[in-house]
Amino acid sequence: MSTSSDQNVIDAAPTSHVKLAAWVEEVAALTKPDRVYWVDGLAEENDRLCAELVEAGTLVKLTDPNFPNSYAAFSDPKDVARVEERTFICSEKEEDAGFTNNWEDPKIMKERLNGLFDGSMRGRTMYVIPFVMGPLDAEQPAYGVELTDSAYVVTSMRIMAKIGNEVLRKMEAENAFFVPALHSIGAPLEPGQEDVAWPCNEDKWIVHFPEERAIMSYGSGYGGNALLGKKCYSLRIASAMARDEGWLAEHMLILKLTSPQNKSYHIAAAFPSACGKTNLALLDPTIDGWKTETLGDDINWMRIGKDGELRGVNPEYGLFGVAPGTGWSTNPNAMRAITKGNSIFTNVALTDEGGVWWEGMTDEAPAHLTDWLGNDWTPESGTKAAHPNSRFCTPIDQVDMLSQDYYSPNGVKIDAILFGGRRKTTIPLVTEARSWTNGIFMGSTLSSETTAAAAGAVGQVRRDPMAMLPFIGYNAGDYLNHWDQISGKLNPEQMPKIFLVNWFRRTPEGGFAWPGFGDNSRVLKWAVERIEGTADAKETAIGYVPTGEALDLTGLEGFTPADVETAVAVNTDEWLTEVESIEEWYAKFGEALPASLRAELDGLKARLSA
């Protein structure tokens, strides 16, 4: 790669894909970078980009041998999370975006964005990143091309997706459709102007055009705002594709569970950001004879298979996990993957040994750190050393427990779907839905206390349908209707069972009602035994909960069947309040709410007052 020059040199497009070449030329003419660079995806290129980023002060190379070939980045303190108020679904018609999304007329939005992108890459390199989400040997590979002026985005996309020459050559051979994903940090450099370590713009726009399947992101260099293959493509745009094509693009982990009898099950689980998807995806069972394998920790594309079964594929190639709370005692599988190296950390703390640390990595904090803001830190500082939304970005093939089926373009048969949130009260540890429609009702009313994964207040209860609130790329009522429609296409014998879970419930005394982490395997075991028809359950107004004796508590010191009953108790007063809140939530959907879900709510009300 040539070094920075002040002439406006646009390299000839090294592609035979006519549409791609034309788009790159058009964007370069608008954004006016000094250079256009086509990303090949090779290791040498990555080393070179990382070295440049170290030189620029964006990355720090870790020198602790426990973190080989790894880097830490520190963002602008105002660019640390996804920005939902700045995220738009610009469908042609406002009603197609629905009440859960910000909307603007696509023509007006494009005019504004074209104004912002005009000259936005001056003084910088525009990188062309051909990428694919999911297997390159899929029937229809999910191609995208991200144009970005951030080398940090290139190195992170290299972990999260398959990028570069191999993808480009196949895309050309098929003259394939690709999602155009344009990204600029919005920080042009005047000649001679000195750069900062994390350039970005106060003005941020994360914009999706669902009909065109196009993405434009401006002003942020952070994770979900900038790595456009992830939330923007694989959830928001893909959910709109899925609606049109009869499949589901969901915010779910995928976990394979094998019983002592050697029977395997695949569990998909939707939880809002920072509610433990990565922990459940990498869980070590605490019950004897059970084995887990990972397929994905954040995104699940589910299509209907030949036998009318739901089949899930994880389209991602890496983990972009919340670092705090990920530790040697709570998630050793993640720690082993991370410490194999090849990782990029963002907004974590640095140790004096040239490694990284975050709250919860070890039981005891190091005596001295450099915190994510660059300040000296000791355990007495009284502040968090790592930002609560700090991240590790690590290749998924470094996960020891990765299932071989991860590589299968046909995915795996999903046997159970879990919906879960973070609720101190009301929601039992686990409830089995009464039916598929009742399960959709559970998903549609899913709620959670807000976390640091999005900018804004933390700890407020909000409804988060299927944990997709920030990610549904169209009208949320149509989205629920789409779930309802899918059921008609599934083989009734093959339908996954649906469960609502809450690892975060408190006891009346205020402690956690359930130990969580590896012990969640006990809940998964019960779910599997419900599928097999061998476990006991008690019918309640909201669904089936385990009896005190039905959860395997072997080896769980001091936890009794009575404690299970506390964890799964259905408190009628709490549920009457919950039902009022669900009424308010459903009222927002207006006419778009599927009648089947209205009927579910009516049924619940009747059962609660019976």
What is the set of active-site residues?
275
Residue 234 marked ligand-binding: no
We find the least distance from the C-beta atom of residue 157 to Na ion, in angstroms, to be 13
Residue 278 marked ligand-binding: yes
Name which position in 80, 412, 416, 453 contacts ligand PEP (CB under 6 A). Answer: 453
We find the least distance from the C-beta atom of residue 471 to Mn ion, in angstroms, to be 8
Cα end-to-end distance, the chain, whole Å: 72
**273 touches ligand PEP (CB under 6 A):** yes
Out of Mn ion, Na ion, ligand PEP, none, what residue 387 binds, judged by CB under 5 to 8 A for its kind, is: none
**Options 1-9, 59-67, 131-139, 224-232: segment touching ligand PEP (CB under 6 A):** 224-232
List the x/- string, 271-300, binding to Na ion by CB under 5 A: --------------------------xx--
Sheet order of strands, 349-351 included: 356-357, 349-351, 369-370, 376-377
**Options 124-132, 171-179, 222-230, 472-480: segment touching ligand PEP (CB under 6 A):** 222-230
Nearer to ligand PEP, 282 or 453 (CB): 453
We find the least distance from the C-beta atom of residue 551 to ligand PEP, in angstroms, to be 29
User: What residues between 298 and 317 interact with Na ion by CB under 5 A?
Assistant: 298
**552 touches ligand PEP (CB under 6 A):** no
Determine the number of helices (DSSP H) and then strands (DSSP E) in the chain. 15, 31
We find the least distance from the C-beta atom of residue 422 to Na ion, in angstroms, to be 18
CB 423 within 8 A of CB 447: yes
* Cα 396–Cα 398–Cα 400 angle in degrees, nearest 5: 105
Out of Mn ion, ligand PEP, Na ion, none, what residue 213 binds, judged by CB under 5 to 8 A for its kind, is: none
Q: Nearest to residue 321, comparing CAs of 294, 303, 302?
A: 294
Nearer to ligand PEP, 82 or 266 (CB): 82
Residue 491 marked ligand-binding: no
Name which position in 224, 285, 296, 548 contacts ligand PEP (CB under 6 A). Answer: 224
Residues 465, 479: Cα–Cα separation, whole Å: 10
CB 443 within 8 A of CB 466: yes
Where do runs of H (alpha helix) occur along 408-550? 436-444, 476-489, 520-532
Burial (Cβ within 10 Å: 0-12, 13-18, ≥19) of residue 25: middle
Residue 558 marked ligand-binding: no
We find the least distance from the C-beta atom of residue 305 to ligand PEP, in angstroms, to be 27
We find the least distance from the C-beta atom of residue 398 to Na ion, in angstroms, to be 13
Name which position in 320, 514, 517, 575 contacts Na ion (CB under 5 A). Answer: 320
Sign of CA dihedral 230, 173, 243, 113: positive
Give the three-state DSSP class for 61: strand
Query: How many CB atoms neighbour CB 44 within 10 A?
Result: 8
**298 touches ligand PEP (CB under 6 A):** yes
Residues 2, 35: Cα–Cα separation, whole Å: 9
Name which position in 233, 320, 372, 514 contacts ligand PEP (CB under 6 A). Answer: 320
We find the least distance from the C-beta atom of residue 115 to ligand PEP, in angstroms, to be 26
Q: Nearest to residue 166, comparing CAs of 141, 140, 139?
A: 141
Name which position in 186, 223, 285, 465 contacts ligand PEP (CB under 6 A). Answer: 223
User: What residues between 359 and 398 interact with ligand PEP by CB under 6 A?
Assistant: none
Length of the chain: 610
Nearer to ligand PEP, 470 or 548 (CB): 470
> Rounded to whole angstroms, what are the CA distances from 463 to 67, 293, 408, 422?
39, 30, 34, 11
Residues 597, 603: Cα–Cα separation, whole Å: 10
Name which position in 122, 204, 231, 243 contacts ligand PEP (CB under 6 A). Answer: 231
Nearer to Mn ion, 298 or 519 (CB): 298
Residue 422 marked ligand-binding: yes
- Token pair of 414 as six digits: 């999903």
Residue 35 marked ligand-binding: no
We find the least distance from the C-beta atom of residue 447 to Mn ion, in angstroms, to be 17
Q: Nearest to residue 268, comparing CAs of 311, 229, 318?
A: 311
Q: Nearest to residue 214, comparing CAs of 90, 75, 316, 343?
A: 90
Nearer to Na ion, 73 or 495 (CB): 73
Residues 433, 497: Cα–Cα separation, whole Å: 7
Distance of CA 567 to the CA centre of its chain: 28
Residue in the structure block whose two tokens are 């739901």 = 310
Supply φ then ψ for residue 334, to 5 degrees. Answer: -65, -45
User: What residues between 62 and 91 interact with ligand PEP by CB under 6 A?
Assistant: 81-82
Nearer to Mn ion, 316 or 578 (CB): 316
Residues 575, 562: Cα–Cα separation, whole Å: 21
Residue 381 marked ligand-binding: no
Name which position in 230, 266, 311, 340 contacts ligand PEP (CB under 6 A). Answer: 230
Using CB under 6 A as the criterion, which residues of the chain lie in contact with ligand PEP when the complex forms? Answer: 81-82, 223-224, 230-231, 273-274, 298, 320, 453
Binding annotation for GTP? 274-279, 391, 422, 517-520
